[in-house]
Amino acid sequence: MGKEHWLRKRSIPILTVLLAVAITVGIFYLYRTYPEWFEAEALKKWGYLGAFLISLISSATIILPVPGIVVLFALGTTLNPVLVGLAGGTGATIGEITGFLAGYGGRGMIKGKGRMYTMVENWMRRWGGWAIFAFAAAPLPLFDIAGVVAGVLGYPVWKFLLVAWPGKCIKYIILVWVGAWGWKVVLP
């Protein structure tokens, strides 16, 4: 009973961490093997689906950041920036599941909490969904930490996605619109 209980208790967290790492490794493998798939011109052909996919991919990497927003700037110059922002925000929200899974799976492994982690955890305990929304909308790279913390705290994944989505969409719409406008000013 003791070994079986330990295995059952540890298997889901271990599998979720492995899944998050596998997604990240898979994305980097695809990027290294087929870099032409990730070029702005190739993604323009995909249109709004390209905006969704590049945001999904860039947000799903939890180990090394991929700057997908730059590609969205270019897409925003030829497509509707609001729709590019919505597609990008939706993809980014779904991509953040990897950080959530890493936190959920690593609950027992996170021992030495850093200052930033502790600060985000305190905000999430105090404001819950509002903190997730604020981190998702903020133009700062703190949302990965918020996703990990939400997973550690056992926040329901459906609530996490539901609250993060409007924040990510607002952020992406503003960034894409400003980026597309700036792109047109710099390169008329």
| Distance of alpha carbon 126 from alpha carbon 130, whole angstroms | 9
Q: Is the pLDDT of residue 8 over 70?
A: no
DSSP for 85-144, written as a single string: HHHHHHHHHHHTHHHHHHHHHTTTT--S--HHHHHHHHHHHHHTHHHHHHHHHSSSTTHH
Of residues 25 and 177, which shows the higher confidence score?
A: 177
User: Predicted confidence band at 60 (pLDDT cuts at 50, 70, 90)?
Assistant: confident
Model confidence pLDDT, tens digit, residues 96-154: 888 888 888 776 666 557 788 888 888 989 998 899 999 999 977 778 888 888 988 88
Type of residue found at 86: L
38, 31 contact by CB (below 8 A): yes
For the segment 82-90, the average pLDDT, to the nearest whole number, is: 93
Model confidence pLDDT, tens digit, residues 12-50: 666 666 766 776 677 667 777 877 766 656 666 778 888
Residue 174 has a pLDDT of 92
> How far out from the chain centre does Cα 178 lie?
21
Residue 43 has a pLDDT of 62
| Total-model pTM | 0.74
Q: Which of 2-11, 28-37, 90-99, 153-162 has the lowest mean pLDDT?
A: 2-11
Q: Is the pLDDT of residue 164 over 90?
A: yes
Q: Is the pLDDT of residue 52 over 60?
A: yes
